[in-house]
Amino acid sequence: MSRRGRCVAATARYHPRVTPESADDSTRPEPVDGELYGPVEVGPMLGVKPQVVVNWVRDDRIHASAVDELGRNRFTAEDVRRIRASLHKGTRA
């Protein structure tokens, strides 16, 4: 609710199938070999919001192995698996 008493609808901008309540490994989308993914697609695969992925890249915690023609970071399926494995270990990917 806003300060003036009006309801403000909050919409999730990340993958609708993944919520904090259902973010276990069985409900996360799986990466497909040969595809490139941006932070919007990688976030739900890791169980986090896309902005978290952007922050991790900026903080040099994770690395993308591809860059598209516009200079944006793109993640391969192997990148996603590597990052996912490092999250469970608490190490940098």
- Tens digit of pLDDT for each residue in 26-44? 578 899 999 999 999 999 9
Share of the chain above pLDDT 70, in %: 69
Average pLDDT over residues 72-87: 94
- We report the CATH number of the domain holding residue 37 as 1.10.1660.10
- Tell me the residue range of the domain where 26 lies: 20-89
Q: Does any domain span residue 8?
A: no
Whether the pLDDT of residue 6 is over 90: the answer is no
Q: Say which residue, 47 or 11, is predicted with more confidence.
A: 47
Average pLDDT over residues 6-19: 45
Q: Does any domain span residue 36?
A: yes
**CA-CA-CA-CA dihedral for 66, 32, 53, 88, to nearest 10:** -120
pTM of the complete model: 0.67
